[in-house]
Each structure stands twice: as C-alpha cells, then as structure tokens.
Structure 1
Amino acid sequence: MGTSPLLKLLVITLLAGIKTRSSDPAALRSTSLLSIPLHGQFTFDDISKAATDFGNRVHHVPSAVLHPGSVADVAATTRRVFQLGPNSKLTIAARGRGHSLHGQAQAPDGIVVRMESLRRAQTMWVHTGQEPYVDAPGGELWIDLLRETLKQGLAPKSWTDYLHLTVGGTLSNAGISGQAFRHGPQISNVRQLEVVTGKGDIMNCSAEANADLYHAVLGGLGQFGIITRARIELEPAPKMVKWMRVLYSDFRSFTEDQEMLVSAENTFDYIEGFVIINRSGILRNWGSSFSTQFPAQASQFVSEGKTLFCLEMAKNFDPTNPEKMKQEMVELLSRLRYIPYTLFKTEVSYLEFLDRLHSSERKLRSKGLWEVPRPWLNLLVPRSSVHFFADNVFGKIITDTSNGPILLYPMNRSNWDNRTSAVIPNEDVFYLVAFLSSTPASSGQNSFEAVLKQNEKILKLCESANIQTKQYLPHYTKLEEWRDHFGSRWEAFQRRKQDYDPLAILAPGHRIFHKAMA
C-alpha cells in the first residue's frame, strides 16, 4: 500500500521528533529512508514476501521494501545507506523473482529492492542493426524479453532452462542451459551494463569502459553492484525445434557421446542430460509429451532398480526446408550409442521449447507443490573426475530420483571469460551435476533431512577424493569456504568488494562479507 504525501509528512515529522529523543535504530532508519525523494515508494508493513525465496528454507524479514520508480531511486537509497556509514546496520538486497535458494536475495533488518518495479519505469528496446542487441531493465523477465525480441525475428543466444527469472538475477550468477556448450553462459553474451554500486553511483560499464566493474558484476553474486540495465547480444531466431530424448544404460557411452557432440562443429543446438535412478514408467511418461509411436519393445522396457542416463537434444530448423533437417538428424543420431527403441521426438516452436518448464510449473502450482522446500545442490565437476563421481554417487548415495531430477551435461571452458567473477573448474570440459530435489510437506520432515544428508555425503566425497568441484549458485557459511571456492581469485574478489562496496552494504544474504559496525 502506498503512503500519501500528507501521511508521509506526518510520519517524517513524528519520527524526526523521535530521533531527537531516542536512539531507537528502527526509528532512525525510518526517518532516514522516508526523507529520500523517490519516484517510487517504500513499504514497511507488507514485507513478509521479501523474507521468502524459492528454496523456502531461509526467512529473514527486512526493515523495508523499496519499490523503485526509477534507477535514481535505487541509487539514492544505496547512497543514503552508504552515507549513514558503519553506525547503521542497514544493508541492501536486490530481489527479482525470489528464486534464490538460501536467502541470497534477503536483507535481514535491511532493505529489499523489488527489481520488477523497474520494468514499469524503464523501456526495453531492440536494436536490429548488423550486430543486433536488446537493451533491457535488470528486473525484466527473460520470457518477456524473448517475446519482445521475437517480434523482430531475433533472440538471445544463451538461456537458462527456466525463463521466468530476471535478467539481473541470472547475470549475477552466470545463466546456464543446454546452449552453454556453444555460446557460453549468459554472462558471455552481454555487451554493456548499467550498475548501481555500493556507494550509490550509477555507472555504465563494458569490456571497453569501466571494464573492471563490468567483469566484477558478471557472475558477481550481487556483491559489487545492482544490475539495473543490460545490453544483450541477439541472433536470428529459429522458427521451429526438433526436440528429442534417448536413453543409455552405460555411463561411459553416455558421457563420451555428450563430449563428442559438444566438441563437434556440426551438432545439435541444445544438449543436456539427466540421470534416472529406480524410476518406473519413464518411457510411457515421455510418450504423453512426445508425439511418437510407442514401440512394442519400449512397452516391455522395465526401468525399476536401474540407473539410466537420458540425453536430451534439440535441433533448430526452418520449416520451409524440412528435408535438410531430416538429413541432418539422421547423420547426427547415427553417431550415438543409445538404446535404439528409446528415441522420442517431437517438433515445437522455438518459444514453446525455451518455455517448456512453465507448463510443469502451472501443474505443480495447481497441486500446491510449487512453494515447497528445495534443498538443491548444483556442482561443476571436472571431466577427469566425473566417472569416479558417478560411480560413487549414482545408485549408492542417491538410490532413486523420486525427489526430483538430476541434470548432468558438459560445457566447454573456452566459452567462459575468466575475467568475470564466475568460478568454474580448471579443465577444458566440465560437467554441471545438479541435484534438484523438492520435499513437499506430504513427504515429511524426514524426507527433507534425508536430502540434506545426501547432499552432505556428496560434498564430503568430493572433499575426501580431492575432486576439484565448484558450486554453481554457491552457498557457504564460513569465510574459509568462500576463500576455497574462489581460490587464487579470492584476492581480486576481495579487492573489487573494497572498490565498489567498501561498507559491505550489498547482497548480505550470501554471507561472504559482513558490514563492519562502528
């Protein structure tokens, strides 16, 4: 609910009186915030939603939520908190759709900035020249950005699997999906950023101008600045997608085929894999989603008790030339060693393919299974260790995948810029291994605790075997763990924090740096 000018003036007057008679921190905070001239507004009462996120495990209530009406609002608020200095406990967290897993977009007793409010204050525009790009607000959703660029026959090159996330949110991490093997993560496809630093400065940056800030912010976990605008590279958008899934029973064949595909010049446009452990009816379930005849052999296929590996692929094509696509598909599939009768395929529009997970979200929401605890664990595993990892995790630590999918697919290091803040294994090829468990209330608290124990066992295995994994969407509770995560790049990360957010105001939910108090 908004605050009328008269009421706002009354509150400021009353709180100003409190300020002279009391040192109550809440009163001092409110006085300072309400005196900031804004195009948008603060709310102090309806703030419970800002204390929740997608992980549904951490709940820190802020003191206020800023609904910015302009980038200047974000800058003015951050500048005021910076000016308050170490005498104030206030911190600031930018929140998009709240898809953090461990409270990273929360600000305990601080200020949460609703980045989606900027979508109404900023325009998105598509440049259709020789090197096309889109300029988008940091709070813009990727799905809406896609719809806008498709009007011009264009689209970004790299994606996440789920598009109902904000631009600034994914660029603060990396943004990966099945296109990353070819185009790199989303942070490798950004030309320019507008950023509000921890000092409250609005700065434009790119690889040519203010390059250190530009590289710091990309994959920087929100530690150095709030992304308020991004210029993203575009390419001609495909019209249709041939979407396929096949099964393997042999892990070595599965990974060798994946690695062959991600290194080939003529290959698929999207390549992902996932692990299926002790699940029944897998092929029949796919039959409802893929327009295919259900082979007699597939009807007799029994998956219970087995560990299987699914390769998911997509090939973009022009529907005006279907024969060319068919020839390419025959040639590509002939290279693979999957179980022959497990090929499932369908054709969908490019938009339908990229937004494929949204229908699953709607189904889960209708059943009350969307806003549940998600004890996810996302690891980047070096190629040299992935077989040892699989041998000791799949079927041993993890004995079924009923709690959620396990993704496993390779990426090429050459498409990542080591000047950014994102940290990846030091090998030419590495794998994302994502354990995407969910534990609804119906599964009981024991199920939640069991998943946490499984995650801990996996991490201990990596530590004891000296597997040089890196967490994606990292979460640590100790400074030593963060130092280990960044390794030789820790000093640069720390120096950048001092340069752009010296009071450690921004993104306190990561618990990397803590605001020093006078």
Structure 2
Amino acid sequence: MFISQSNKLFRLKPLVFKIALLFLLGITTNRNHLPTNHPSLYTMPFYGNLSFHNINHASKDFGNRYHLYPNSTSNIAHIIKHVFNLGLTSHLTVAARGHGHSLEGQSLAPQGVVIHMESYKSPGMSFHTADHYPYVDDSAGELWINILHESLKRGLTPKSWTDYLHLTVGGTLSNAGISGQAFRHGPQINNVYHLHVVTGRGDVVTCSDEQNADLFNAVLGGLGQFGIITEARIALEPAPAKVKWIRALYSDFATFTNDQERLISSSRDSLDYLEGFVVINRTGLLNNRRSSFNPKDPVQAEQFTSAGRVLFCLELAKYFNLEDVGSIEREVDSLLAELSFIRPTLFMSEVSYVDFLDRVHVSEMKLRENNLWDVPHPWLNLLVPRSSIHGFAKEVFHNIVKDTSNGPVLIYPVNKSRWKNGTSFVTPEEDVFYLVAFLSSAVPSSAGKDGLDAILARNRRIVKFISESNMGIKQYLPHYNTTQEWIAHFGAKWEIFLRRKMLYDPLTILAPGQRIFPRANALEQH
C-alpha cells in the first residue's frame, strides 16, 4: 500500500514497529499544507500509522524555544533506508523524538522526518528474573517511570536513574542518564546489556559488549548520531521499600565539597544517592524549601537564617526495607557524625522508594497547575573537573549567578572509575568531576532577571568564562553551533566519533538538531 497526498489519518497494515513518523519540512504559513519538494515520500510503500493532524507536539521540545510546523510519514528502518537510498541529492534528515525533553531543538529535524518514539511500544516489557543478573527488555520509547512501576511488581528496580523519570529509555541512553546514583552505579549507559539499533544506513543491528561492540559503544551517549535505539535490555537489582532522605546546609564551599568527595570515595555501601545544590540570595530557606522534611532539632532550626548568603545543600539518601528500620537509624547517625554541616540545618524525611525517585514529578504537577511548566527552559549543564571546581565556584556562584530564585543549581561529584569506557560520552580527564546544572525556568513576558533574555545572557557569561579559563570543563547535553566547537568538545575522542559517523551514518542523515554534521554534500565535507 502507498501513501497518498490526502489529509487523512491512514491506518495501514502494521508490521514490526507500529510507529508514528512525524514529517517536518521547515516552517510554513499553513500547517495543513503538504510539501511537494520530496514526492518520493508520498509514493513510498510503508507499514504503520500515519497522521497529518494533531502532531504539533513534535514541533517543540522542553527548551520550548524552537518551533516548527510538522507534517508526517512511516516506519524507522524503512524510512531511514529510503532516505539513505536518495543519496546526496536529498537534504532529508531523520531525528528520533522521545518525550521531547531536549533543550535546544536536538530532537527536531527542520528538513526531515521526526520519529515519535513514544508511540513505539512493541515488544512491550519482558522481564527475566531467574538468574543472578535480572533484566528487562523494553522498547526505547517507554518511559522510565513505567519501567519503575512494572519492575517493582516483581520486587526489582533499575540501578541508575535520572532525577526526572518521565523520559524515554532511548533518549537518556543517547545522552548518558546521570543522577545521584551515578557515583555507585555509573550513569544509565553503564547499566544496559544490549540494544537493538537502526543505523543511518537503515540497517537493524543487535549490539552489546560481545556483539557489534563498536556500534554498542557508539550509540551509548552518542547523541543520536550513529543510530536510533529501538529496544534496550536494562539491568535490574532488588528494590528497597523505603528511603531515608536527608538534607543539610554548609556555608563553606571547601567543607561542602570535602564531605561530598569523602562520601563518594567511601569503600562502605553507606549511601545510595548523593547530590547537592547551591542557594544564592534566598531568605526563609528552611521553611520554604523543606516543607516535606522534619528538622532534627526544631528549636535550633527555627533560629537559623540564611541571611542572603551563598549556601550549599548536601542531599543524601539511604535505601532500606521495613525489617531494617533499627539498623538504618544507627547507620545514618554514624554517617552524619562524620560530616561537617551546620548542625541546626539537618533535615530528614522518610518516604517510599517510588515517591523519592518520582519527586520531581510532584513539582511538575504544581507548576502545571499554575501554567509555569510549559515555559522556556534555558538550562546549562556542565561537567567540572575536581581541580577546577573551586575556581569555578568562586567566579560563577559569587559573581555571575546573582540568585537562584528561578530554578535549582545542582552540584555533586561522580567517580569516573565507575563509568564504562569506550562510549561516545565525553567527560573531563580527571577521575572525580562535578555535575553543575543551572536548571532555570524563564518567566513568560518578563524583562527582568527571571526573563529568558537575562538567563541566556547569564549562561553566555558562564560559557565565556569556562572557555577562556582552560579549566577542562565539558558540557553535558552539549549544544554548539560550529564543527570546530564540537571538535574541541570531543577532544581526543573526535577522530573516533568521526570514524563511527562515517561508518554508521555516512550521509549524515541522523539527529540534525545536534548541529554536529551538516547534511548537504556530507561525504565531500568530511
């Protein structure tokens, strides 16, 4: 059966993937107008679901700054093979879109096809729990929150997470997937056994550390450049029931980082999660930010005031089961006794494992109620080497960033020795480095410091500072506009990255929103 040019919803014979493809061909004044500059897309045989309507969600991402007007087409391997066979005479590109949480249009294809991965639910979750290495096979379009709920029914859970769980498996594996468990288990790309991938040639490949290992490592943290992940085998472990959730404040940055680094280097399994955040020019901190926490000493906590200082909050979590309540209290007390936080600022909470992992979703619901979720999110995520973190903090937290009222500033260390070697993901050279994330939300129509222009200007100052300081800082979820900037980002990994691109996507069809490789005359330029 063939695609016609009628503006109708086609439900054609399903084959393997049952995927909806969203066709983007630039900005037009009429979103129902069907482009004709690529007629082969309308006469191409395909199987799947096709819609020309109600697909505006594919025209933007979580950054909420880049907007296109989409049309549509067919199925992952078939469409990529079709575009590949058009050769260099075509400018068509292909991008995979998960839950749309990229920040700078990375999941969009201004001249091409956007594959709506969330509609791809085949083959469904398949759990294997009989051996010592339990795992789940799942589609790359599944949300992590759904995997969590299904795993818990079997007493299991994935090992490593992102802070926000309403993201797709393929989306986080294409970046890295970092959260407070990474110091123990590494990022999410450490905890996947094998993948099914459609390359830029349209080939469907199964890959792992033992089979097609080069492609396996390429796509993990590969920013979608080498193939579209369609299925993943994810490592599981026994799930806890409860979480002891702890926060405490520091006024001295060196003391704060010393405690963080001591905790991640401990040989004991004394901790399951470690993060931290920076608080600048805030008052009423304890009452406003810790409504779900109980102070260890209510009298002293009531007397403490942040007084507009730059403070640093350590955030810890220890997992446990109900039969371990007595021992967990002793372990936590012993752990905290070794730390040097401001004693009146110790706050604790005991929550379910699900509530802890899905904590950001609670904030999302509150923001949605006030129409403050679908706003621009000009985030900036950095990986700062341990040797540079103090110089970075002195300039950025005391001079460039004037307040944290429009979103959290996360800061926590990870140990690279726990991370998988050989992937496309780029980190600083040192073994210990810090994730520093400026997670700002711009207030719509504001011309003040909480408006989009002001936040972008602040981000540019930070990027300018790190580019001029030679601190070895890398971007996480990187965004650059020129090939030279990307070469500098990848550093010694660039030649490997380029080789893999030419092997698995020689026409540079995939993930054009990353702006790494131009589509036109790709082979001649590289």
- Please indicate, yes or no, whether the TM-score normalized by the shorter chain is above 0.5: yes
In structure 1, the residue corresponding to 2:202 is in which secondary structure?
Answer: coil
**CA positional deviation for 1:3:** 2.2
In structure 1, the residue corresponding to 2:111 is in which secondary structure?
Answer: coil
Summarize the Cα distance change of 1:196–1:365 in structure 2 as closer, same or farther, 3 Å threshold.
same
**CA positional deviation for 1:462:** 1.3
Alpha-carbon deviations, 1:61-101, whole Å to 9, x = none? Answer: 445255xxxxxx21111111111111222111100100000
In structure 1, the residue corresponding to 2:341 is in which secondary structure?
Answer: coil
Matched, 1:464 2:468: yes
State the partner residue of 2:406. 403
Distance in 2 between residues matched to 1:442 and 1:81, nearest whole Å = 41
AA aligned opposite 1:506: L
State the partner residue of 1:11. none
AA aligned opposite 1:269: D
**CA positional deviation for 1:4:** 6.1
Alpha-carbon deviations, 1:140-167, whole Å to 9, x = none? Answer: 0000001111111111110000000000
Distance in 1 between residues matched to 2:244 and 2:163, nearest whole Å = 17
* Equivalences for residues 127-276 of structure 1 within 5 A: 127-129=128-130, 130-266=132-268, 267-276=270-279
Question: 2:41, 2:73 within 8 Å by CA — same for their partners in 1?
Answer: no
State the partner residue of 1:420. 423
Summarize the Cα distance change of 1:247–1:4 in structure 2 as closer, same or farther, 3 Å threshold.
closer
Matched, 1:491 2:500: no
Question: 2:195, 2:216 within 8 Å by CA — same for their partners in 1?
Answer: yes
* Equivalences for residues 104-119 of structure 1 within 5 A: 104-119=106-121
In structure 1, the residue corresponding to 2:401 is in which secondary structure?
Answer: coil
**CA positional deviation for 1:27:** 2.3
Distance in 1 between residues matched to 2:80 and 2:190, nearest whole Å = 28
Question: 1:63, 1:109 within 8 Å by CA — same for their partners in 2?
Answer: no
Distance in 1 between residues matched to 2:508 and 2:76, nearest whole Å = 16
State the partner residue of 2:485. 481
AA aligned opposite 1:428: D
State the partner residue of 1:319. 322
Distance in 2 between residues matched to 1:242 and 1:410, nearest whole Å = 20
**CA positional deviation for 1:442:** 4.9
In structure 1, the residue corresponding to 2:412 is in which secondary structure?
Answer: strand
* Equivalences for residues 48-127 of structure 1 within 5 A: 48-64=56-72, 66=74, 73-119=75-121, 121-127=122-128
Question: 2:9, 2:52 within 8 Å by CA — same for their partners in 1?
Answer: no
Distance in 1 between residues matched to 2:475 and 2:509, nearest whole Å = 24
State the partner residue of 2:514. 510
Summarize the Cα distance change of 1:500–1:192 in structure 2 as closer, same or farther, 3 Å threshold.
same
Summarize the Cα distance change of 1:33–1:113 in structure 2 as closer, same or farther, 3 Å threshold.
farther
Instruction: Give the TM-score of the pair, scaled to structure 2.
Output: 0.91
Distance in 2 between residues matched to 1:292 and 1:442, nearest whole Å = 38
In structure 2, the residue corresponding to 1:361 is in which secondary structure?
Answer: helix
Distance in 2 between residues matched to 1:493 and 1:418, nearest whole Å = 14
**CA positional deviation for 1:115:** 0.4
* Partner of residue 44 from structure 1, selected from 47, 52, 56: 52
Question: 1:36, 1:77 within 8 Å by CA — same for their partners in 2?
Answer: no
Summarize the Cα distance change of 1:33–1:195 in structure 2 as closer, same or farther, 3 Å threshold.
farther
Distance in 2 between residues matched to 1:470 and 1:85, nearest whole Å = 34
Question: 1:156, 1:232 within 8 Å by CA — same for their partners in 2?
Answer: yes
In structure 2, the residue corresponding to 1:110 is in which secondary structure?
Answer: strand
Identify unmatched segments of 5+ residues in structure 1: 6-23, 67-72
Distance in 2 between residues matched to 1:480 and 1:503, nearest whole Å = 19
Alpha-carbon deviations, 1:87-118, whole Å to 9, x = none? Answer: 22211110010000000000013111010111
Alpha-carbon deviations, 1:467-510, whole Å to 9, x = none? Answer: 11000000000110000000011011011011001111110000
In structure 2, the residue corresponding to 1:29 is in which secondary structure?
Answer: coil
Distance in 2 between residues matched to 1:408 and 1:184, nearest whole Å = 16
- The alignment's C-alpha RMSD in Å is 1.8
**CA positional deviation for 1:367:** 0.3
Summarize the Cα distance change of 1:397–1:41 in structure 2 as closer, same or farther, 3 Å threshold.
same
AA aligned opposite 1:35: M
Distance in 1 between residues matched to 2:220 and 2:42, nearest whole Å = 29
Query: Whose helix proportion is higher, 1 or 2?
Result: 1
Question: 2:304, 2:344 within 8 Å by CA — same for their partners in 1?
Answer: no
Question: 1:246, 1:339 within 8 Å by CA — same for their partners in 2?
Answer: yes
Distance in 2 between residues matched to 1:338 and 1:291, nearest whole Å = 16
In structure 2, the residue corresponding to 1:229 is in which secondary structure?
Answer: strand
Summarize the Cα distance change of 1:79–1:392 in structure 2 as closer, same or farther, 3 Å threshold.
same
State the partner residue of 1:3. 10
**CA positional deviation for 1:302:** 2.1
* Identical amino acids, percent of aligned pairs: 57
Alpha-carbon deviations, 1:11-48, whole Å to 9, x = none? Answer: xxxxxxxxxxxxx993253543453221x223334443
Q: Report which stretch shifted further, 333-342 or 281-290.
A: 281-290
**Alignment length, in residue pairs?**
493
Distance in 2 between residues matched to 1:98 and 1:50, nearest whole Å = 8
Alpha-carbon deviations, 1:374-404, whole Å to 9, x = none? Answer: 1111000000010011111112101110111
